[in-house]
Amino acid sequence: METQAPSCFNLPIRVYIEDTDAGGIVFYANYLKFMERARTEYIRSLGVELRAGMQQNISYVVHSLEVKYHKPAKLDDLVTVTAVVAKVGKTYLIFDQQVVAENKAVLVSAQVKVACVSLDTGKPRAIDTGLINAIR
């Protein structure tokens, strides 16, 4: 059974020189790192520790993603990275994410499917009920 979850999380991130390419704009792959941080901090804000899940043989991995790059972020910009749980499935979560400039312009948008897997086998498994309850 799939359900919709409206919860949203915002993570401010400053663009450092390590995040940019030679032209001073954020290197495209670094947006994925920003989004990973936002998803992780969102889960942490719910009181769920990923390390505890690993001790229970649970891990969450990116299954697939679709990214659209609209405008670049630049060195020293302060951006906000959002994470919204758009869908909760038995073995996966779908996040809608954005990187937003201070002027509210959407710089990057993405949909990320994160699968719950067994660390032993790498195969899909049911999401921990504690995480599902925390999201709802």
* 82-112 per-position pLDDT tens digit: 999 999 999 999 999 999 999 999 999 999 9
Output the CA–CA distances (angstroms, integers) from residue 96 to 91, 105, 124, 128, in the order listed. Answer: 17, 16, 21, 21
Residue 5: pLDDT band with limits 50, 70, 90: very low
pTM comes to 0.90
Which range marks the domain in which residue 99 is found? 8-135
DSSP at 15: P
Q: Quick check: is 86 in a domain?
A: yes
Instruction: Estimate to the nearest angstrom the gap between the alpha carbon of 78 and the chain centroid.
Output: 18
Catalytic residue among 19, 21, 76, 77: 21
Residue 68: pLDDT band with limits 50, 70, 90: very high
Q: Quick check: is 3 in a domain?
A: no
Q: Quick check: is 65 in a domain?
A: yes
The torsion angles phi and psi of 45, rounded to 5 degrees, stand at -65, -20
Number of domains in the chain: 1
CATH of residue 56's domain is 3.10.129.10
Q: Quick check: is 2 in a domain?
A: no
Q: Quick check: is 72 in a domain?
A: yes
Among 81, 74, 113, which residue's Cα sits nearest to residue 97? 81
Our answer to whether residue 76 is catalytic in this structure is: no
Q: Quick check: is 59 in a domain?
A: yes
Residue 7: pLDDT band with limits 50, 70, 90: low
